[in-house]
Amino acid sequence: MYPQFIYYLLQYIKFQESIIYKLLGIILGKSIARGLYDEPINKPYRKLEVDDMPIIEVLEKFDYQELLTNYQAKHGKELKPVVRRKNSKTKVPKNLTCPQCVAPSPFIYANNGDKGQYQCKVCGCLFSKQNRFLKEAVIKCPHCLKTLDRIKERKDFYVFKCRNNTCSYYKRKLKQMSKDEKLRFKQDPQAFKVRYIFREFNLDFEPLAKETPVKPKVDLSRIYVSPHTLGLILTYYINYGLSARKTAALMFDVHSVKISHQTILNYANSVALITKPFVDHYPYELSNSFCGDETYIRVKGRWHYLFFFFDAVKKIILSYPVSSNRDTPSAIKAIGDVLIKFKEIPEDLMFVVDGNPIYILAQHYFAQHDIHFDVHKVIGLTNDDPVSTEYRPLKQIIERLNRTFKGNYRATTGFGSQAGSVSYVTLFVAYFNFLRPHASLEYQVPVVIPGLEKMPNMPARWTKLIELSQDYLVDHQSA
Ligand SMILES: [Zn+2]
Ligand SMILES: [Zn+2]
């Protein structure tokens, strides 16, 4: 069948590509190849064994009706539904459809139905009940290319596992065991990590609990570059607002580090998870006046809103939720994120915003909960209208933030998720608060941390910031 042929051809091309890539790594230099495909050269961060990224295949979508029509035109007869033996144990659920062409269940073979493997007769794609819920992607083991099984659901992520007994990862792990370990493994297989594991994060950054920071389920040992290289990547990607692709190109052209743009996005995501609790729970010294705005960002082809509030005097960003709606609940959340930063809410608290009424509604909401503040509307704060000298610095900050995000979100849509864009924003806020000198603060950073300030350059400051964030998490893990 034609589409099936194309599908397998594509698979084959991808396979060839991966081999070429590996060979290139070997030719280009052992260190690069090792960094990518073997044990990390430099293991800067601690804990937990985290495996390589899986192979994520985005399915090309087909329309089964179109495919059926094409079949008829080509063969002069229609494609019949699957004939099932009456006593067949393997059943295909009636509501099961093909994830690739949406063909209904009569067209689906139960390949080995008891293990949940199916094949579509119309487009030929293989799938399992688990992976079909991934909507667009199939996640495969990087060692054996078999589709991974989703085995557990955790609060922030799903756990996927390669169950293939002939997987090279599995076989290698078994081989590496000492006699003693093999004995213990027989008695208690659960105590050993012998299979390839992947954690798919699906964070939505719900409002953080006021007292305890949320401990991220992520570890930086999966980052197989040196801290300095990671610092460089973050400097280009965040400080200079380069896209992940440009950052990847620059890393290769200038620094001879071969790294994919997807890996850069993954690293950014991991670092964001580590730094977010530090950024959100840092004991900021605040003034009593804050400025807020929303900016448009595009996530997965849809417009979202980034709400940000910052200290108008200290230039510290305190609140940066991403919402699919520009509504009052979002405004409440954004202001709430500022309010939880106070030990005691100041009496003369004021929020400077544009004309959007959602902030007034939010003000009313908080007033009902006995939290009071003023909302000062400044027309022209967030548009082209002129604004008085008093609010010009605020306007400049807002414009800068908007520019940066508008310039960069196009790149982050490659992540295809809200979590990806939130990661970017989190890192931007970390940069803005702790790393970026500010003209209106006499070229000081808004939040001066002595340990950061004495670092010789920006990559080193990023590394130090990650270290401080990890220390913060360790200190608060018992909570
Ligand atoms: Zn299909
Ligand atoms: Zn495998």
pLDDT of residue 140: 86
Q: How is residue 251 written in tokens?
A: 């890393």
How large is the angle between the packed helices 244-255 and 392-412, nearest 10 degrees? 80
pLDDT of residue 398: 77
Q: What is the pLDDT of residues 363-402, one digit of tens each?
A: 877 776 667 888 888 877 766 667 777 777 777 777 777 7
Report the share of the chain in percent with pLDDT over 90.
24
Q: 48-57, 174-183, 370-379: which has the highest mean pLDDT? A: 174-183
| DSSP-derived pairing of the beta strands 317-319 and 350-353 | unpaired
Among 67-76, 114-123, 311-320, name the one with the lowest average pLDDT.
Answer: 114-123
Among 72-76, 126-130, 144-148, name the one with the lowest average pLDDT.
Answer: 126-130
Q: Which residue has the higher pLDDT, 383 or 194?
A: 194
For residue 133, the CA-to-ligand 1 centroid distance in Å is 14
Q: Which residue has the higher pLDDT, 159 or 250?
A: 250
| Average pLDDT score over residue span 59-71 | 87
Please, which pLDDT band fits residue 30 given cuts at 50, 70 and 90? Answer: very low
| DSSP-derived pairing of the beta strands 322-323 and 108-112 | unpaired
Please, which pLDDT band fits residue 22 given cuts at 50, 70 and 90? Answer: low
| Average pLDDT score over residue span 87-93 | 73
CA distance 213 to 204: 15
For residue 9, the CA-to-ligand 1 centroid distance in Å is 16
For residue 478, the CA-to-ligand 2 centroid distance in Å is 35
For residue 142, the CA-to-ligand 2 centroid distance in Å is 7
CA distance 410 to 162: 33
pLDDT exceeds cutoff 90 at 462: yes
- Provide the H-helix boundaries in 188-327: 227-234, 244-255, 261-281
For residue 115, the CA-to-ligand 1 centroid distance in Å is 19
Q: What is the pLDDT of residues 309-323, one digit of tens each?
A: 999 888 899 999 888
For residue 184, the CA-to-ligand 2 centroid distance in Å is 23
CA 100 to chain centre: 24
Q: What is the pLDDT of residues 417-427, one digit of tens each?
A: 667 778 888 99
DSSP string for 158-214: EEEE---TT-HHHHHHHHH--HHHHHHHHH-GGGS--S-EEEEE----PPPPSSSPP
User: Which of the ligands is closest to the CA of residue 170?
Assistant: 2
Q: 211-225, 233-247, 406-420: which has the highest mean pLDDT? A: 233-247
Residue-averaged pLDDT of the chain: 78
For residue 17, the CA-to-ligand 2 centroid distance in Å is 19
